[in-house]
Amino acid sequence: MRCITLFLVLLCLIDLSLCQDELVISTPVESVRYVNDSGLRVLIDQMEDSEQFMFVKFKASWCPFSQQLTTIFEAVAESFPNITFASIDASRHTSLNYRYDISTFPKLVLFRGNGSIYTYRNQSRTFRGIQHYLTNITGMQPIAVTEPEVPPLRLSEETDYFWFFSVAFVVLVPGTKLLLKYFNS
Ligand SMILES: *[C@@H]1O[C@H](CO)[C@@H](O)[C@H](O)[C@H]1NC(C)=O
Ligand SMILES: *[C@@H]1O[C@H](CO)[C@@H](O)[C@H](O)[C@H]1NC(C)=O
Ligand SMILES: *[C@@H]1O[C@H](CO)[C@@H](O)[C@H](O)[C@H]1NC(C)=O
Ligand SMILES: *[C@@H]1O[C@H](CO)[C@@H](O)[C@H](O)[C@H]1NC(C)=O
Ligand SMILES: *[C@@H]1O[C@H](CO)[C@@H](O)[C@H](O)[C@H]1NC(C)=O
């Protein structure tokens, strides 16, 4: 019985930590389409013209690096009006993650109308760096857009929750084992 109670408590903690990414943080901008997985599938299916490009940010709203990238991604989107930009919370909408090899966040993937897929692999995700990358592959030049200030890496409230529950979990698992040992002896 005790064992079951402890298990349920643990389960609740895990679930709560997963709930935190329900919250929306950034204010949507027009240059970026904010989609779920079915929305993204529709956008990919619509790309029939091989000259079309779509740049997608797979993010997790609880991931501070995803949040830090938001302003840069939106500014890059403004500078390439002929590329479709989309953002998906891939920690909530997971059905495409396997196909596009999304295992870490944030991940930037460029889709070409002819079916080619390019993943941005540079760990440094600067405004200019991403622009160069897009110009390199698409051949398009960016229009002039003010370079955004990179926000400091900030643990938001929900990130705090996430870390709190992660830490709580890490502490609770060995703690539970000890308790069980104690009760069983
Ligand atoms: C995905 O988003 C569309 C609108 O953008 C909405 O109609 C649809 O219900 C959403 N699907 C899921 C599974 O949330
Ligand atoms: C976008 O595409 C249109 C039509 O092909 C073209 O006239 C325009 O110059 C392009 N703009 C940029 C910034 O590439
Ligand atoms: C799409 O076009 C690019 C450039 O022409 C080419 O390198 C690539 O192999 C093509 N991909 C497919 C799947 O045809
Ligand atoms: C990665 O990005 C940085 C900054 O944009 C750039 O200086 C560097 O050359 C890039 N590395 C590669 C391998 O493209
Ligand atoms: C894109 O960059 C790679 C190196 O990162 C380079 O080998 C390639 O030639 C570039 N392509 C174009 C079209 O500039």
Amino acid 152: pLDDT:
72
Amino acid 6: pLDDT:
41
Three-class SS of residue 2? helix
Question: Is the CB of residue 155 below 6 angstroms from any atom belonging to ligand 2?
Answer: no
Amino acid 157: pLDDT:
52
Of ligand 4's atoms, which has the minimum distance to the CA of residue 126? 5
How far away, in angstroms, is 39 Cα from ligand 2 center? 25
Amino acid 10: pLDDT:
43
Amino acid 35: pLDDT:
95
Amino acid 63: pLDDT:
86
User: Rounded to 10 degrees, what is the CA torsion of 22, 26, 31, 33?
Assistant: 0
Question: Is the CB of residue 143 below 6 angstroms from any atom belonging to ligand 2?
Answer: yes
Residue nearest to atom 7 of ligand 1 (CA): 39
Quickly list DSSP for 63-100. Answer: -HHHHHHHHHHHHHHHH-TTSEEEEEETTT--TTTTTT
19-48 tens-digit pLDDT: 344 344 456 778 999 999 999 999 999 988
Residue nearest to atom 9 of ligand 4 (CA): 129
Amino acid 58: pLDDT:
95
Of ligand 1's atoms, which has the minimum distance to the CA of residue 38? 1
Collect the ranges in the chain with pLDDT lower than 50.
1-25
State the ligand closest to the CA atom of 126: 4
